[in-house]
Amino acid sequence: MTSSAAPRHFIDLWHLESAELREILDMAHAMKKARAGWPKGRVDTGAPLEGHTLAMIFEKSSTRTRFSFDMAMRQLGGSSITATSNDMQLGRGETVEDTARVLSRFVDAVMIRANDHSDVEAFAENASVPVINGLTDRSHPCQIMADLQTLEEHGLTLNGARLAWVGDGNNVCASFIHAAAKFGFSLAVGTPARFAPDDEDIEIARDLQGRIDLFETAEEAVAGADVVIADTFVSMGDADAERRLEILEPYAVTEDLMDLASPGAKFLHCLPAHRGEEVDAEVIDGPQSLVFDEAENRLHAQKAVLRWDDQADYLARTQLYPAPDADLDIEMQDLWLETLQQ
């Protein structure tokens, strides 16, 4: 993660070339398959980030981001240090710029889950180590990489696919908008006008030749979609929770809404979910739902991001992970069973 070259940050998907994102996704698939059957605490072959430390800064509380990044570093052979809003405040007492310069002297990379996207951008501009956006008010790129990995695992070819987002055109929606052009899928967004995606994100996607279709009803957006995606209607700290629920109620994902999608369409939700609000239990707990595979893949996608941040010769060093195949999987599982029986 540390070198004389300028650090490679992972802030927004639209900043990266399509080939780079494809490399990250391919690496995520390979690393996950290479450790099939292993205990979760076992270090990956070659311990590629041995001796490296990731600083994790959380201005917002977290479950999946915190656990997945911490375990990612453990599996890669490295370590992590966590600071919450109780420990520090970006820009309070010390400027964001100075904090970035100081932490760059202590650790090899920084992951930030921040309230203000501009703080992460300022941090990256002043850091001499890679900076990863763990979620901001504007975007959530790590989540989308995990989501796309999940869809490919379940047989979806992203190029030419039709994805539908319904509900609030929030930060997760923004990152899906950024990803559309990079991976070649079209995105239908169904939101009330009050909660439509930011015009700037739509402009970014269309400048990149991405196909983004905006609708004011969930039914129009979901019609014929290969994937239906939702997120919570009310986030922690929203002062207008009751009003938001009232406006967004028609955008809840029900079995009837899923019936309008393509046969066999999948359902995604980044969690935490509120059954009976943005999605019915019959959908999120039903056979079309991939939400727990999606949650697990935060670990694998973020390991790939950490590896990508670590070197410019990214693909050349993927040989640390043998190309997965059925024979290799069987061999690894047999070895693990033999170990358990000893």
Domain with CATH 3.40.50.1370 in the chain: 13-140+295-313, 155-289
Catalytically annotated residue among 9, 35, 138, 298: 298
Looking at 9, 35, 119, 143, which residue is catalytic? Answer: 143
pLDDT for res 93: 78
Q: Which of 9, 119, 270, 280 is catalytic?
A: 270
Q: Among this protein's residues, is 143 annotated catalytic?
A: yes
Asked if CATH classification 3.10.200.10 holds for the domain at 155-289, the reply, yes or no, is no
Given 113, 117, 244, 300, which residue is catalytic?
A: 113
Q: Residue 326: pLDDT above 90?
A: no
Active site residue 298: yes
Does the annotation mark 270 as catalytic?
A: yes
Q: What is the pLDDT of residue 237?
A: 67
Please give the pLDDT value at position 1. Answer: 58
Q: What is the pLDDT confidence band of residue 337, given thresholds at 50, 70 and 90?
A: very low
Asked if 231 is an active-site residue, the reply is yes
44 in catalytic set:
no
Q: What is the mean pLDDT of residues 164-189?
A: 98
pLDDT reported for residue 314: 41
Q: Is 209 a catalytic residue?
A: no
Average confidence (pLDDT) over 318-323: 42
Please say whether the structural domain 13-140+295-313 has been given the CATH code 3.40.50.720: no
What tens digit of pLDDT does each residue of 44-78 get? 999 999 999 999 999 988 999 999 999 999 999 99
Catalytic residue among 12, 119, 201, 231: 231
pLDDT for residue 110 is more than 80: yes
Cα–Cα distances in Å, from 154 out to 21, 56, 182, 289, 293?
19, 31, 20, 11, 10
State the pLDDT at residue 96: 94
CA distances from 248 to 196, 237, 251 (A): 11, 17, 5
Find out whether 88 and 113 touch, Cβ atoms under 8 Å.
Answer: no
* pTM of the predicted structure, to 2 decimals: 0.90
Mean pLDDT of 164-169: 98
